Amino acid sequence: MAQGRGWEGAVLKLMRAKDFTLTVTGAEDVTPHYRRLHLTDGGLLATTGVHPTMWVRLWFTNAGRPHQRAYTLVDPDPAAGTFSLEFALHEGAAGDWARTAGPGATIEATVQGTGFARPAPAPSRLLAIGDPASLPAINSLLDALGPAPATIWFEGDGDGLPFRTDPSRHDLRRTPRTELVDRVRTELPALLAATPDPYVWIACDTRTTRTLSAYVRKDLAVPKERTHALGYWQAG
């Protein structure tokens, strides 16, 4: 299936990526700018298994050229062969497809590069930094870490978004985009000092992720195995 996907598809095929066809069974507009699609998995989960924050690459056509973007699985059910995907509706090929996709629509997906190494020892507190694009992964992480408390810096107000936070153990700090980096730099050191086994998880736009990842690892000296950082999208 790499044919017609340019060099990205060819490289993924060489890396033994697995390809599947997903079919939309339903759609929900969670907010005017956030849409959830329900899909059958084309045999994906039975082939690959499931892990927390698992993601797939979806293939779109952008001005006649192949374009892929990664999305985290929401509520994967291997027995039923189903999961959902949630889209923060930005401008572009992915958003255009998600806005109009309804029952019967299909899309090609590739699985390669996804993984999750459960921190050991288990986190005494999760310290997560994200935005609407990474909310499905944050929710998956909260589910996976069970009773562990968490502090989450979230870019934007997130009104109406499907947070799976429990106010009794999750501190959700909604923060304007322009203030996110400075607020994390101000508040994170004290939380790290009070947390014997922290786990720092960062998934924002590429520039913000790089800035905060460098700060956490170099300035705060958090060990690599206690951090995860992945740039989800390119800011314009």
Whether 10 has a pLDDT exceeding 60, the answer reads: no
Percent of the chain with pLDDT over 70: 91
Residues 23 and 40 sit within 8 Å (Cβ to Cβ): yes
Q: Quick one: CA dihedral 11, 235, 34, 116, positive or negative? A: positive
Environment class of residue 69 by beta-carbon count within 10 Å: exposed (0-12), middle (13-18) or buried (19+)? buried
* DSSP bridge pairs for 70: 57
What is the residue whose two structure tokens read 């999961």?
83
pLDDT class for 15, splitting at 50, 70, 90?
very low
- Report pTM: 0.88
Domains belonging to the chain, first-starting first, are 6-111 (2.40.30.10), 125-229 (3.40.50.80)
pLDDT mean across residues, the chain: 90
Q: Write phi, then psi, for 121 (nearest 5 degrees).
A: -70, 165
Residue 150 Cα distances to 71, 78, 201, 207, angstroms: 23, 28, 11, 24
The string of pLDDT tens digits covering residues 24-46 is 999 999 999 999 999 999 999 99
3-state secondary structure of 193: helix
Q: Which two tokens stand for residue 18?
A: 């697995």
| 52-68 pLDDT, tens digit each | 999 999 999 888 888 88
Q: Give the per-residue pLDDT at 236.
A: 52
pLDDT bin (cut points 50, 70, 90) of residue 104 is very high
